[in-house]
Structures are given as C-alpha cells and as structure tokens.
Amino acid sequence: MTKVNLITGFLGSGKTTTLRHLLANKPENEKWAVLVNEFGEIGIDGSLLADTGAVLKEIPGGCMCCVNGLPMQVGLNMLLQQAKPDRLLIEPTGLGHPKQILNLLMSDVYQAWLELNATLCILDARQLSDEKYTGNENFRDQLAAADIIVANKQDVYSDHDREQLARWVQESGKGRKIVTAEQGQIEVALLNSARENLAELPNAKHHHHSKAPSSGIAALRLPDGQNWRRSLNQGQGYFSCGWVFGAETIFDTVAVLEWVRLAPVIRVKGTLRIPEGTLIVNRQGDDFHIETRQGSPLDSRVELIHDAETDWNTLQSALLKARIKAIS
C-alpha cells in the first residue's frame, strides 16, 4: 500500500523547494513518486524535480477544483500501477482547492491502494497580512484542510509577521501542529503523521479555464520549425504565460536575470540554459531566488503569473532579446 501526502500551499509559499528537500532526505530503501499539478501550461515544477530520483508525473494547466477530471485520475492511476511507490507526494497548484483531491484520495476505489497520511500546508506567514491572500477562498481552505502547517521562510519574517502568525494560530490553529522552517527544510518524519483533520470544507467555486482566444496576444501562432513555443492559461482571476525553448537556445545570464527582475508580474519561475550551465529563477513579488547548477537542462522553461491581464507580447519581445545566438 502506498503512503500518500498532499502538500498544499498558495503561490510562492515554497512547495517545490520543500519537495526537493524531502526527496533529498528520503529513506534510501524507499521508492517515492511525485504527482504535480500546475496552474501554468509549461511544467516548471517538473523540470525542477527531474533530478531528484523520484518517479514524476505532471498534470500542467489545471486547478485542483478540476481534479475529478480524467487527466488527474489517469496520472494518479499510472503512478500507482506502474511505479508502485512506497510513498506518493501530491503537489497541487498554488491556486487549487484541496477538497476535491482529498475526497478523491479517500474514495472507495483507492482504499486498497492508498494510506492517506497527513496533509501539509506550506505557508508564507507574510501573506496573512495581505487581503489579496486572506480574502481568497483557496488560501483559507488550504490552511483549513491541513493537518500540519509549515510556516516557511521564517528567516524573512518581521516581528509583525510573527505576530500575525501567532494570532492566526490562536484563532484558527485548532490545536494542529505548527512547524517553522527556512527553505522548506522540514523533517521527513512529519510525513508519517496521521491524517486527523476531518473538518468539513466548503465546496470550491468551480472555475473554468478559458480557451485561448482567436485574436489578440494569445492568438500568436509560431512558424513551423521555430525552436520555441508559448502557452497561456487563465482562471480564478489569475493569468499565466509560459515559454519553452529548445536545447539549442542559450540565454545571456545578466540580460535574462534583468528580465526576470523587472517583469511586471507577481510570479516568475523558470529553468534556463546559460553559458555557465543551468539558471534557476524563482521570484514571488520582491523575493528573488537565484540558483545555478552545472550541466545544461534539456530545454529552457519560464512561466509568468499575474493577477491581471498583461501585455505578454512586450514581455516576450524582451525575453527573445535576452537570447544568445543559438548553439549549432
């Protein structure tokens, strides 16, 4: 029987960083798998987890209010039947509602396959002071559904942030375990905690993802043979645009970092090929994390998310200018 944990958390809370830490410290004799569902269409998290040794399945371009759709169940079934992992970690999109996925995991059809352990919610406590987050039903319900709250990024909390966290724990913690962490560094043993939070959650409002329009910026069609493509998605008041570039494309390190820094969006995430190897960028608002790794990625991927419609074409033009001449 496969042990399963749901790892939730709103945009920018540090879910993928936490997953990388857990996978790096898993028991050597266990086989782990990860099911990732992203809001965007490009699959950034999959590329960030590709070198962890876990069996990986991606479901891009969706929100967890739609998990009862076929792609989610097919992905889950494939992992269980083909990989037969000892543990499965499920990372929904940061815009996802947890109720449907928990209902799915607890349904009769999976009783012989799964042992549902604790749900962990990764929280950046700075978001507790922002109505944009606290007024979002998915943000609130992710916290309400969790067995364990991981207050991540504690190294950048102000005294006010700590006070807000303490107030939330007093008012809404309901005796649940609260763990503080930096860079998602939590104990693997937390995953063995029991699923005890059986509180009834409200039904999520169903959000339909819009199809790409037939005109305007999303109607751009790339010529045959071009070595990159663009994908867009929108839902729940958020908009995403992502690009994938073939292995022959490399980016100027300084130019692409400046592009990431100045992009007028709330979220930037990507893995990019640069002369030095691989550049990993992760920006949430003014928080900007950069990492370089030796070795080149199979391709370059970058995704932007914003809470308003954005001129993707202008951003795309600037990104294309950050390329170095393609490698032959």
Question: 297, 288 in Cβ contact below 8 A?
Answer: no
> What per-residue confidence (pLDDT) applies to 74?
79
Residue 298, in any domain of the structure: yes
**pLDDT attached to residue 202:** 67
Model confidence at 224, pLDDT cuts 50, 70, 90, reads: low
188 in the same domain as 99: yes
Same domain, 42 and 167: yes
92 has a pLDDT exceeding 50: yes
Number of domains the chain is built from: 2
Which residue range forms the structural domain that includes residue 295?
217-324
**What does the pLDDT average to over 30-53?**
73
Question: Do 152 and 226 sit in the same domain of this protein?
Answer: no
Distance between CA atoms of residues 51 and 271, nearest Å = 13
pLDDT above 70 for 246: yes
CATH code of the domain covering residue 253: 3.30.1220.10
Give the β-pairing of 55-59 and 32-37.
Answer: parallel
Say what percent of the chain tops pLDDT 70.
Answer: 82
280: left (phi over 0), alpha (psi -120 to 50) or beta: beta
Residues 6+ away with beta carbon under 8 Å from 143: 121, 123, 149, 168, 172
Q: Which residue has the tokens 């002071």?
A: 129
Same domain assignment for residues 108 and 149: yes
Whether 48 has a pLDDT exceeding 70, the answer reads: no
Per the prediction, the chain carries an average pLDDT of 84
Tell me whether residue 108 is in a domain. Answer: yes
pLDDT computed for residue 157 by the predictor: 96
For the stretch 66-82, pLDDT in tens is: 544 566 777 788 888 88
- Cβ contact 72:91 at 8 Å: no
Shared-domain flag, residues 161 and 251: no
Does residue 146 register a pLDDT over 90?
yes
Residues 229 and 172 in one domain: no
Q: Which residues in 153-299 belong to E strands, given as ranges?
A: 177-180, 228-235, 238-245, 250-251, 267-274, 277-284, 287-293
CATH of the domain at 40: 3.40.50.300
Residue that is written with structure tokens 């490399």 in the block: 250
The pLDDT-based confidence of 222 (bands split at 50, 70, 90) is very low
User: How confident is the model over 40-66, as a mean pLDDT?
Assistant: 64
The mean pLDDT value for 244-259 works out to 93
Residue type, 113: W
At 210, list the tokens: 């819009």
Pick 120 or 222 by higher pLDDT. Answer: 120
130: exposed, middle or buried (Cβ count in 10 Å: 0-12, 13-18, 19+): middle
Task: For residue 219, name the pLDDT band (cuts at 50, 70, 90).
Answer: very low
pLDDT of residue 142: 92
Q: Is the model's pTM score more than 0.95?
A: no
Provide the β-strand partners of residue 281: 270, 290
For residues 264 and 313, membership in a common domain is answered with: yes
Element (H, E) at 50: none
